[in-house]
Amino acid sequence: MDVAAVARLVPGLALALPRVPHRGLVGEVRATSAGSALELHDFRAYQPGDDLRQVDWNAVARTGELVLRIRQDEVAPRVEVVLDGSRSMALSPRKAACAREVALLTAEVAARQGLAPTLLVAGARPERVQGPACRAVLEAAGFDAHDGLPESLGRLPPLRPCGVRVVVSDFLFEADLPGLCARLARGASALFLAQVLDAEDLDPSGGEGARLVDSESGAALEELLTEDVLAAYARRFAEHQRALRGAALRARGALLVAPAEDSLVSLVTGPLRPLFVAAGAS
C-alpha cells in the first residue's frame, strides 16, 4: 500500500456528498431529522407533544391554528468504508494494495472533511475501527476470509445509518446481487461500490493447460485455457458486471470499477471520479 500516494492526494480531494439529507452527529450538513437549525424546512400542524418553541405564532395569528415551523438538524454525516477481506482480494499484491489504498483514501478524505469515517474490514476476523486507527488496521488487514462478501457481512457488526457508504470489493462472487446491494444501501444516503479488479480478472492471460483453483473455496476445475474458454469467461464476466451494475443502480448506488493496475491518481481522476471531487467543490 502506497501510503505516501494517498497522503499526497488527500488534501486536494473531498467526498462527493449527496444532495439528499444525511444522518449523523450534530454538524454542518442538513439532516433528515427535524432540528434546531435556522433554516426553515417545512410547516405542519401542531400535534400534542411538539415543542411549543417551534410554533409559528405569526401563522397562528393569521390562521387561528397552531402551526409549527419545521427546521432541519444540522449534522456531520458518517462515512462507512467496508473493505472486503476475502482471499480473492489478495489475488495479486497489486490488487490487495489497490483495495487498501482506495479504502484508506476514502477514510482519510472523509476524516479531513470531518465526516467521521468508520472502517469495517469483512475478513475472517471482522474489525470495525474509527478515525485515525483506520490506517493501521488497513495496513495490517489480511485478506483471509474463505467466503465472499455476503457471508462476511454476516460476521460484521450491523451497518449503521450513515451518510456515505463505500464498499471496496471485487464483487466476484455468486450471490443475490440485488439483495446484497439493497442490504448495503440500507440506512445510507449514498452508496458507492468500488470494485477493485486485477488484470487477470479483467483479461485472463490463459496458458497451455491449467488446474483452476478458486481463491476462496479452494474448489478446483480442470480446464484448458483455450481461446474458446477465455471467450466464454469474458462473456460471463460481462454478464456479471451488467447484473452488478443494475443491482447497484436499483439500490441508488454507483458501481465504480477500479482496475488495480492503474495508479491511484488515475483512478481518482477516472473511474473513482463520482466518489471524489476536488476539495472545495462539494
Partner 1 sequence: MSFGFPWGLLALGALVPLVAAYFLRRRQKPVVVSALFLWRRPSPRAEAGPRFERFTREASLLLEALAVVAAALFLADVRWGDSARARHLVLVVDGSLSMSARGPDGVTVLEQVRREAAKRVASEAATRVTVLASGGAPRMLAGPEAEPSRALAALESFQALGADHDPMPTLIWAQELAGAERRVAFFTDVPPESEALVPASVRWTALGTARPNVALVSAQRRDEGSTATVTLRVAGFGDGLEDVEVRVRALPGPGAKEGTEKVERVRLPGEGTATLRLTFQGAGDVEVSLPDDALLEDGRVRLPPAPARPIAVALAAGLGRTEQAALERFLAVSPEVARGAGGSEAELLLGPPGTDARVTVGAGGKPRTFLGPFFSEKGHPLLDDVQLSGVRWTAGDNPPGKPLVSAGDAVLVSEEEGGRIHLNVDLARSNVQRVSAWPVLLSNVVRQARRAREGFPRRQLLLGEPLPVVTLSGARYTLVGPGTRRPVFGAGEVSLSPPSEPGTYVLERDGDAVDAAQVLALDARESDLRGRGSVDLPARETGTDDAPSDGAGRARWPLVLLLAALLADFYLTRREPANTGGR
User: Residue 209, interface with partner 1 (CB under 8 A)?
Assistant: yes
* Beta-strand relationship, 253-259 and 162-169: unpaired
Report the residue number, 168 or 190, with the smaller CB distance to partner 1. 168
Residues numbered 64 to 123 that lie near partner 1 (CB under 8 A) are 88, 91
223 contributes a contact to partner 1 by CB under 8 A:
yes
d(CA 215, CA 54) in angstroms, rounded, equals 59
- The type of residue at 78 is R
Minimum CB separation from partner 1 for residue 144, in Å? Answer: 14
Nearer to partner 1, 139 or 200 (CB): 200
Q: Which of residues 159-198 bind partner 1 (CB under 8 A)?
A: 170, 172-174, 177, 198
Q: Candidates 69-77, 157-165, 234-242, 266-274: pick the segment binding partner 1 (CB under 8 A).
A: 234-242
Q: Which of 183, 237, 270, 277 binds partner 1 (CB under 8 A)?
A: 237
The dihedral through the CA atoms of 85, 89, 92, 93 has a sign that is negative
Alpha-carbon distance values, 160 to 79, 118, 125, 188 (Å): 10, 10, 19, 8
CB of 270 to partner 1, least distance (A): 22
Place of cell 432540528: 35
| Separation in Å, CA 190 to CA 42, 145, 178 | 24, 27, 16
Contact (Cβ atoms closer than 8 angstroms) between residue 43 and residue 69: yes
Of 127 and 201, nearer to partner 1 (C-beta) is 201
Query: Which of 37, 32, 133 has the alpha carbon at shortest distance from 81?
Result: 133
In the region spanning residues 238 to 267, those forming contacts with partner 1, defined by CB under 8 A, are: 239-240, 243
Residue 82's region, left for phi above 0, alpha for psi from -120 to 50, else beta, is beta
**Of 142, 178, 204, 246, which one interacts with partner 1 (CB under 8 A)?**
204
Stretch that binds partner 1, among 50-58, 111-119, 133-141, 215-223 (CB under 8 A): 215-223
As given in the structure block, the three cell numbers for residue 8 are 499526497
Tell me the number of residues near partner 1 by CB under 8 A.
36
CB 173 within 8 A of CB 91: no
Structural contact between residues 187 and 208, judged by C-beta atoms closer than 8 angstroms: no
By CB under 8 A, name the binding residues for partner 1: 88, 91, 170, 172-174, 177, 198, 200-201, 204, 207, 209-215, 217-223, 225, 228-229, 232-233, 236-237, 239-240, 243
